[in-house]
Amino acid sequence: MITINEHYLKLQKSYLFSDIAKRVRAFQKKNPDVNLIKLGIGDVTRGLPGVSIDAFHKAVDEMAEDTTFRGYGPEQGYEFLREAIAVNDFRSRGADISAEEIFVSDGAKCDTGNIQELFTNDIKIAIPDPSYPSYLDTNVMAGRTGDFTDGRYKGVVYLDGVKENGFVPSLPEEHVDLIYLCFPNNPTGSTITREELKAWVDYAKDNKALILFDAAYEAFICDNSLPKSIYEIEGAKEVAIEFRSFSKSAGFTGTRCAYTVVPKECAGYDSNGKKQLIHSLWNRRHCTKFNGVSYPVQRAAEAIYSDSGKAQTKNLVDYYMKNAALVCTTMSKLGYDYVGGKNSPYIWVNGETDSWDFFDMLLNKAGVVCTPGAGFGRCGNGYIRISAFNSYENVKIAMSRLTETLSR
Ligand code: MLT
């Protein structure tokens, strides 16, 4: 008899973004004439930077010739990309990260989901509420939680992100071993200061804990006093793993390329309390379960680090941030309380009503898709998330529809 992993039965019926897509499909089927504007899932809408397209074409041509063809590449990523990442994303900001500490992958979702398998099931995990759903779901699948009651899984330490703390969770009152942090935050768009981040690094050091720092939205930080990487904080290399993505910064959601940084000194402990380096464990896992990102995609990613690549990706980010500013202005005019939208493409709006009701109202009355905050955790109820990823023209239409629907 084939028995199943029953931890899967504890999961909520479907993954948040699949659930929303299903509701949107059903609405569109019933209302084929409504021109829906999607500001829900953070999926980019603009074409890839020209430098990436050129590099992509060139690499595809190389694949056509026996002399330049490439088969399996290094599982960790080609040296040309890893070096460009280390120099441009870290060393340029004073974070001493080397190419060997970078693991190129096909997505931060997979990496943030897979990393937990390096750790035992009896560790205490701390997960922000609200947060990107896959942090929690992958721990549920692994059996690291109890059942779901009252909107929460037993055995998890939830780090509340609420208005009172500016959506930056406070340190846990009890001991935890594995901490998920995401800044600029998905879904709230809040950011963390150096001092606040240092407090987390110090906590991790004092508690022999590990921080999983999701920095997928760092490109949207406009305020240069804010940290883009956790490694800008002294001592973080011993206690933190960082996740980054080309999805939002360079439009790679469909092209797939991301990376994870595991510093050489980052450590966990075995059952005898002996230090074990996480780098070698993750490397072992990566080589066993992953065969690398395709060569043309890695060339396309490398291209964004050229001078023109940097200018083109900045244009992309500026474009979406102009959308975010328009959403913020509209929400202010309508008298809604919100955060985000300044150093983040997400705007977290207090709808002062059940999130799913608000979502349904915007879908049915305004033809605008957002993301209900409750889908990110119990603290998200009452909120909706509006994404700035769409064309400026569409965001303008969406905002005027919202103005009509929500004027009060
Ligand atoms: C989001 O909308 O939260 C993200 O875009 C989804 C993802 O990156 O998987």
For residue 224, name the pLDDT band (cuts at 50, 70, 90).
very high
pLDDT for 14 equals 81
- Dist. CA 83–CA 368, nearest whole Å: 42
Structure tokens at 15: 């993954």
Which residue CA neighbors atom 4 of ligand 1 most closely?
A: 42
Atom of ligand 1 nearest to the CA of 40: 2
Which residue CA neighbors atom 5 of ligand 1 most closely?
A: 42
- CA 7 to centroid of ligand 1, rounded, Å: 24
Q: What is the pLDDT of residues 33-45, one digit of tens each?
A: 999 999 999 999 9
* Residue indicated by tokens 């990487």: 229
| E strand spans, 202-328 | 210-214, 240-245, 258-261, 267-269, 275-277
Q: Which of 369, 391, 389, 405 is nearest to 37 (CA)?
A: 369
- Dist. CA 359–CA 284, nearest whole Å: 43
- CA 271 to centroid of ligand 1, rounded, Å: 36
- CA 286 to centroid of ligand 1, rounded, Å: 23
Q: Which of 13-22, 198-207, 329-338, 378-387 has the lowest mean pLDDT?
A: 13-22
Atom of ligand 1 nearest to the CA of 134: 9
Structure tokens at 270: 């075995």
- Dist. CA 384–CA 357, nearest whole Å: 10
pLDDT for 369 equals 97
Whether the predicted model's global pTM rises above the 0.85 cut:
yes
Q: How many CB atoms lie within 10 A of CB 333?
A: 12
Q: Which of 17, 110, 348 to mutate to test the pocket of ligand 1 (most atoms within 8 A of CB)?
A: 17
Asked whether the predicted pLDDT for residue 158 surpasses 70, the reply is yes
* Helix/strand/coil for 381: coil
Pocket of ligand 1 (CB under 6 A): 41-42, 109, 132, 186
Q: What is the pLDDT of residues 74-118, one digit of tens each?
A: 999 999 999 999 999 999 999 999 999 999 999 999 999 999 999
pLDDT for 236 equals 98
pLDDT for 408 equals 65
Chain mean pLDDT for the chain: 97
Asked whether the predicted pLDDT for residue 15 surpasses 90, the reply is no
Atom of ligand 1 nearest to the CA of 41: 2
- CA 41 to centroid of ligand 1, rounded, Å: 6
Structure tokens at 91: 């060393």
What value does the mean pLDDT take over residues 53-59?
Answer: 98
- CA 387 to centroid of ligand 1, rounded, Å: 10
Q: What is the pLDDT of residues 390-406, one digit of tens each?
A: 999 999 999 999 999 99
pLDDT for 234 equals 96
pLDDT for 388 equals 98
For residue 407, name the pLDDT band (cuts at 50, 70, 90).
confident
